[in-house]
A and B are shown apart, each in its own frame.
Chain A
Amino acid sequence: MFSSSSTSLSKKRLLLIVGILTGAVVLLEILFSSLLPEGLMTQSLRGKCDYIVSHPAPDIQVMGDSVSQGGIFANRLEETLNAHPGSRPVTVRNDSLGGTSPLFAYYVLKRQLRAGHKPDVILFAPNMAVTSNPIPERFWGRFARPGEMAESLRLGMPLSDMVFGLACRLSYTMRYREELRGAVTAGNLEFFKTARLPVELPGSESVESQPAPPENPNETFDARELPWMLKQPFRPLPYVDNHIRAFIELAAENGIHIFWIPMPIPQVVSDFQRESGTVAGFERYLQSFATEYENVRILFPESAVYPDSHFKDTWHLTDFGAWNFSGTLGEALTMYLSENPELLPGTAR
């Protein structure tokens, strides 16, 4: 045991250390936030959200993450849909937000509807891997407003995610730890260089005509190099499921039809996920929504398998892959809409 005087001395010393340490951390974080730029992803996320909320909604709005952001060309889709003229041309806009999860889609739609901008149809294309890894710290740290934070807790988000997310909100280092890690360990300063560039806004796609075929058609992916998120079994977290349901119900209340679009995957991912039962689980999950909600439709029951040369990595399509997929999606959508013209009022073909 320690004598009372040494105990009180060490308590005083500890309090002093904790005090100085806290002060130093606060000071450093204030310095970082004032001197270093916000990340491009954050700027882009906020910029795109502002754009979506402040502009009239298109007829068809694409919502998802980076996979659908680069994998669906709105102008290609628009071109295909308008190739069979109806009473008015259809407008399409890709409002997918890179680096997000289905949580974001719900709150973006909510903000958008509150501003009075309602699309007729949503092409909802979240990546199935993010249903079990929904990046809650980005939601809390870079996006959510107080009311949305409260709602996310009501919809079942765990307390630990909230704590981590709030820490990300308050601390620049935590918010951009991945980017700072890249800067420290690999000298990658891209984050600091690009952060001041203007953000990419919806409708600014540059691809107007068919992109060039892939440079290396023989490139193949190795099963051993699959990212861990793609190897995870398909097990949506309850609170993500709650948010998806809230998203669908909000759309239903506002008369919005949702087409759930599984994005194409490479052969190696398909093989892995088929073997692990992930594909079957995802299919069942999709079907359960189509059965339960009248406003949900499934155009493709499962992810199409595209050649490896159509992908930049095991997740994202190249421009060439996206061009092909957008064409296929446009054809399927045209056919569906011609049989169900009530989905897009005033466009009967």
Chain B
Amino acid sequence: MLFNSIAYLVFLGLVWVLHSLLPLKWQNRLLLIASYVFYGSWDWRFLSLIWISTLSTYYLSHAIARTGSQKQRKRYVAFGAMLNLGILGVFKYFGFFHESLQDLAGALGISLHGPAIHIILPVGISFYTFQAISYLIDVYRKDYQPSQSLTNYALFISFFPQLVAGPIERPSHLLDQLEKPRRVTGEMLHEALYLLLWGFFKKVVVADTLALRADAVFSADEFTSGMVIAGTVAFAFQIYADFSGYTDIARGSARLLGIRLNKNFLFPYFSKSPQEFWSRWHISLSTWLRDYLYIPLGGNRRGELKTYRNLIVTMLLGGLWHGAAWNFVLWGGYHGAALAIHRFFKSTYKSRSGTQHSVVSGLIKLTLMTAVTLYGWLLFRASSFQQIQDMTSGLFSSEPAALFLATFLKTCVYGAPLILVDFVCYRSNDEFAIVKWPLVPLVLFYLALIYGILILGVTNVQQFIYFTF
């Protein structure tokens, strides 16, 4: 049941009506059943994986809280993390490592014959696994008291708006809301309306239309600079509209039920440095990686060189989290290197000349960061190392290409609303700045979204990119 389907709208409408009629205890039970129905609509067999993750982390968290022995606490948390990462490893990475090992052995002249294993990737497994692990670690660190209600905890792991593609929530944020009485205010409902309409628009109008242009470029056999740039810019808008559109629909759906989910995007394409980009792009993942990987590795507390190492290792694993393919690892490593280089220059520049801010320097930084981000998307979207090589060489070829102009124009037209709305909200430092507009422009804005979705929306339902991660 995809968010951009009529089935989801009917489902959400039914859940919303029933939810508003029930008391809290029954509200959570209803949401839990609804979440399992939602997840089971993809493949009911994978419900067993969610149950394993839920039950193991729930009971281990209680065991951790009960025992006084630090050694025992460590064993429990390690066991829980290994079990959940093990499931993720088998379902998401087994085939990848199996193939990579065979390729490596082949390159060394050793023949490894084994049966070809094809494991279906359960949708959303990377998201709920990270959420369950963060809960266990927070309990271990005594940052959070284990939940006393299995229903509430199971709902925290499987809450349908954010189950399949985040935002990855922390127990202190989502579980706390699930355990307390909720009140749906008029403001929340209005924000929900805005998030749902804007999210659907981004997905079905911007992302799905630009996907066709980006796909046309990335499936070509030969590349020229215009093509590569236009295709990569189209993909940059596509992935942002797709993922942030999903997140907005998730947050809008949750707000209808009186629950506020975390922000996952904060105008990322206005970033002026890699550090700023990662504080604005997929925020729930980058903060997860910071708190549960980068800081435990030592963060920036053990000298500059180790900080660079920690940044690169964190981002390499962050890249691998996105998918079982080497280009994601390369993409992660590339961003890790960008973070390290930026950190090096920032400390050098700061120590020599202090901090200077001007419009010109801001524009230069914005342009440089946009170029870094775009090349990163090329690595991310490419289907092979060979294609990365071909497209990179293509950047230096100036032969005219028919695909360039059509792709570029379409990207400008369809990307413009995205940039305009982001710019309005960025300038006022308020993601709901538009909601506060006067009545007439606001209604016209909503009408434009509704008719944009109806007329320009791609009707053949497309899956969200991040559902495959």
A17-B446, A160-B6, A174-B454 known; A10-B185 Cβ under 8 A: yes
Confirm or deny: B83 has a beta carbon within 8 angstroms of a beta carbon on chain A: no
Whether the Cβ atoms of A184 and B455 lie closer than 8 Å is yes
Q: Which of the segments B121-129, B143-151, B186-194, B272-280 contacts the partner chain?
A: B186-194
Min C-beta distance of B173 to chain A, whole Å: 16
Whether the Cβ atoms of A181 and B443 lie closer than 8 Å is no
Contacts of B451 in A (CB 8 A): 28, 173
Whether the Cβ atoms of A178 and B10 lie closer than 8 Å is no
Whether the Cβ atoms of B6 and A6 lie closer than 8 Å is no
Whether the Cβ atoms of A14 and B10 lie closer than 8 Å is no
Contacts of B186 in A (CB 8 A): 7-14
Confirm or deny: B7 has a beta carbon within 8 angstroms of a beta carbon on chain A: yes
Bound Cα distance A164, B457 (Å): 15
Q: Interface readout for A168-186 with B: 1 if CB under 8 Å, 0 if not?
A: 0001011001101100110
Min C-beta distance of B236 to chain A, whole Å: 21
A7-B185, A14-B186 known; A181-B460 Cβ under 8 A: no
Whether the Cβ atoms of A24 and B447 lie closer than 8 Å is yes
- Name A3-28 residues within 8 Å CB distance of B: 6-14, 16-18, 20-21, 24-25, 28
Bound Cα distance A13, B191 (Å): 12
A2-B185, A180-B455 known; A14-B6 Cβ under 8 A: no
Q: Interface readout for B45-84 with A: 1 if CB under 8 Å, 0 if not?
A: 0000000000000000000000000000000000000000
Cβ 8 A contact of A173, one of B219, B446, B454, B460: B454
Bound Cα distance A164, B10 (Å): 10
- Name A126-165 residues within 8 Å CB distance of B: 158-161, 163-164
Cβ 8 A contact of B10, one of A2, A7, A163, A185: A163
Q: Which residue of A lies closest to B444 (CB)?
A: A24
Q: Which residue of B lies closest to A224 (CB)?
A: B219
Q: Interface readout for A237-267 with B: 1 if CB under 8 Å, 0 if not?
A: 0000000000000000000000000000000
Count class of interface residues, chain A: 35 or more
Q: Interface readout for B155-177 with A: 1 if CB under 8 Å, 0 if not?
A: 00000000000000000000000
Whether the Cβ atoms of B439 and A17 lie closer than 8 Å is yes
Q: Which residue of B lies closest to A16 (CB)?
A: B439
Confirm or deny: B368 has a beta carbon within 8 angstroms of a beta carbon on chain A: no
Bound Cα distance A25, B449 (Å): 12
Min C-beta distance of B340 to chain A, whole Å: 41
Confirm or deny: B5 has a beta carbon within 8 angstroms of a beta carbon on chain A: yes
Q: Interface readout for B434-451 with A: 1 if CB under 8 Å, 0 if not?
A: 000001001100110011
Whether the Cβ atoms of B459 and A177 lie closer than 8 Å is yes
Main secondary structure of the interface of A (DSSP, over half): helix
- Name B102-118 residues within 8 Å CB distance of A: none
Cβ 8 A contact of A164, one of B6, B187, B190, B455: B6
Whether the Cβ atoms of A20 and B439 lie closer than 8 Å is yes
- Name B198-250 residues within 8 Å CB distance of A: 219
Whether the Cβ atoms of A10 and B190 lie closer than 8 Å is yes
Q: Which residue of A lies closest to B190 (CB)?
A: A14
Confirm or deny: B388 has a beta carbon within 8 angstroms of a beta carbon on chain A: no
Bound Cα distance A244, B439 (Å): 51
Contacts of B456 in A (CB 8 A): 181, 184-185
Q: Which residue of B lies closest to A171 (CB)?
A: B454
Whether the Cβ atoms of B455 and A160 lie closer than 8 Å is no
Contacts of A25 in B (CB 8 A): 447, 450
Contacts of B10 in A (CB 8 A): 159-160, 163
Whether the Cβ atoms of A2 and B446 lie closer than 8 Å is no
Contacts of A185 in B (CB 8 A): 456
Min C-beta distance of A127 to chain B, whole Å: 17
Q: Which residue of A lies closest to B452 (CB)?
A: A184
Bound Cα distance A16, B7 (Å): 28
Q: Which residue of B lies closest to A24 (CB)?
A: B447
Bound Cα distance A174, B450 (Å): 11
Residue with the greatest number of chain A CB neighbours at <10 A, chosen from B5, B6, B450: B6
Whether the Cβ atoms of B187 and A6 lie closer than 8 Å is yes
Contacts of B447 in A (CB 8 A): 21, 24-25, 28
Min C-beta distance of A150 to chain B, whole Å: 18
Contacts of B190 in A (CB 8 A): 10, 13-14, 17
Contacts of A7 in B (CB 8 A): 185-187
Whether the Cβ atoms of B6 and A24 lie closer than 8 Å is no
Contacts of A164 in B (CB 8 A): 6
Bound Cα distance A171, B447 (Å): 14
Contacts of B187 in A (CB 8 A): 2, 6-7, 10
Whether the Cβ atoms of A177 and B455 lie closer than 8 Å is yes
Contacts of A178 in B (CB 8 A): 459
Bound Cα distance A174, B446 (Å): 17
Bound Cα distance A184, B460 (Å): 18
Bound Cα distance A52, B238 (Å): 47
Contacts of A163 in B (CB 8 A): 6, 9-10
Q: Which residue of A lies closest to B460 (CB)?
A: A228
Min C-beta distance of B406 to chain A, whole Å: 12
Q: Which residue of B lies closest to A15 (CB)?
A: B186
Bound Cα distance A178, B455 (Å): 7
Q: Which residue of B lies closest to A133 (CB)?
A: B460
Cβ 8 A contact of B455, one of A2, A159, A173: A173
Q: Which residue of B lies closest to A158 (CB)?
A: B7
Min C-beta distance of A112 to chain B, whole Å: 31
Q: Which residue of A lies closest to B442 (CB)?
A: A17
Q: Which residue of A lies closest to B446 (CB)?
A: A21
Q: Which residue of A lies closest to B440 (CB)?
A: A20
Q: Interface readout for A10-50 with B: 1 if CB under 8 Å, 0 if not?
A: 11111011101100110010000000000000000000000
8 closest Cβ contacts across the A-B interface? A11-B186, A10-B186, A160-B7, A164-B6, A160-B6, A10-B187, A14-B190, A160-B10
- List the interface of chain A (C-beta within 8 A of B): 1-2, 6-14, 16-18, 20-21, 24-25, 28, 158-161, 163-164, 171, 173-174, 177-178, 180-181, 184-185, 224, 228
What are 30 sample pairs from A and B whose C-beta atoms fall under 8 A apart? A7-B185, A7-B186, A7-B187, A10-B185, A10-B186, A10-B187, A10-B190, A11-B185, A11-B189, A17-B190, A17-B439, A17-B442, A21-B443, A21-B446, A21-B447, A25-B447, A160-B7, A160-B10, A163-B6, A163-B9, A163-B10, A164-B6, A171-B454, A173-B451, A173-B454, A173-B455, A177-B455, A177-B459, A185-B456, A228-B460
Apart from the given pairs A11-B186, A20-B439, A21-B443, 11 other A-B contacts in the complex at a CB distance below 8 Å: A1-B183, A10-B186, A11-B185, A12-B186, A14-B190, A21-B447, A160-B5, A160-B7, A163-B6, A177-B455, A181-B455
